[in-house]
Amino acid sequence: MFKKIRLENGLRIITVPSKGTQTVTVLVLVGTGSKYEKKEENGISHFLEHMYFKGTKKRPSSLEVAEALDKVGGIYNAFTSQEYTGYFAKVSKEHFNLALDWVSDIFLNSTLPEKEIEKERGVIIEEINMRKDHPMEHVQVLWQKVLYGDQPAGWDIAGTVETVSRISRKDLIKYRDTHYVASNTIVCLAGNFNERLGVEKVKKYFSKIRIGKSREKPKVIEKQNKPEILFEKRDTDQTHICLGVRGFNLFDERRYVQEILGLILGGMMSSRLFEKIRTKLGIAYYIETEAFSDPDTGYLVTRAGLSNEKLEEGISEILKEYKKIKRDGVSKYELKKAKDYIKGKINILLESSDAKASFFAFQEILEKKISTPKEIFAKIDKVSRNDILKLAREIFKPEKLNLALIGPKGVKQEILKL
């Protein structure tokens, strides 16, 4: 399904050809994000990503950068996470050369003009303010904070108003030159394209990429011996919560057990918590459980927007389901449904070129290896009911619980009793 090539300079090229689509995606990933930042530069990965749309030598203005792909109906964007930053373009197959030229141009030749930095600083500050104005989003920032506190894993990817206000052009260039190097970069081509010619073109376009060693990521400190609650008071019509526990990272085989457990609890419309909290009790519009893993952290969390008057009832019912699955485990039917759900979602997802690029490139940037869907399905199939029960009993303990919430009333003591 894919090929991986490592050039002498360390650049990795992944090709995922598919003749069954009319599109092609070019995705470039660099292995840096907010977990690699120092406190005074928090938000710099995200700031740099924004600046890559502000002009290159070939396309000097943000308008020229945008119009290049708008003229052919291309889909393009960039994103920053804790672990990586990505730039991509998805186009009709006949515009493959344009997409590769465009992505390589912004990645290698962005000029970072001073006047645009000052304008974009204001844009990013408004983005931070916008997300803070949305409790459903902001509670997820609090969730990271309650888990990891004042260390990179606990900081907002976008940074703070204070840190973003201080980042200079010199800071951006230094950060770029440190991390945006060949050995820390992946170029992924997915969709309908000539594989041999595609690789040759990548070699040509990325021949001038910087060579060097990127900065090491600081070790995440995990520490908890009692339940933790982080409350932010807001005059909201709902109380938004994240309630969950620490889990397992990408290199722990239990991540697959964790994923299935999360699905059964609240990852589907027919999951236990959706049925209980929304369908039967009617005390929340959204309720979902996510199992998350990256190279050095992992967690299982249930997110919900609860009626203010029903907050304690909602938390109590979520905890009851945690206790129930810890006590009784899951049925054969639930386990099979969750496994088939994962397989079905992956198969549906991989029909598009951009999803193919993400599926293979994300694995390589995070794990330094790639598993095919067939190999992943084999690991999922190995998960047993006893594995689920054992993991639930390990993670669902009072001293391991964490809660972040935004709402109009503080009920810390009542919740700690629950």
Catalytic residue list: 49
- Strands (DSSP E) along 107-222, which ranges? 185-191
CA 155 to CA 37: how far, in whole Å? 10
Answer yes or no: are the C-beta atoms of 10 and 205 closer than 8 Å.
Answer: no
CA 352 to CA 16: how far, in whole Å? 11
The identity of residue 306, as a single letter, is L
Q: In what order do the strands lie in the sheet with 3-6?
A: 3-6, 12-17, 185-191, 23-30, 85-92, 75-80
The string of DSSP codes covering 69-81 is HHTTT-EEEEEE-
Answer yes or no: are the C-beta atoms of 284 and 72 closer than 8 Å.
Answer: no
The identity of residue 81, as a single letter, is S
Axis crossing angle, helix 385-395 with helix 311-328, rounded to the nearest 10: 130
Q: How is residue 412 written in tokens? A: 């810390």
* Alpha helices, DSSP H, located in 233-352: 255-266, 272-273, 311-328, 332-349
Nearest to 245 by CA among 325, 352, 185: 325
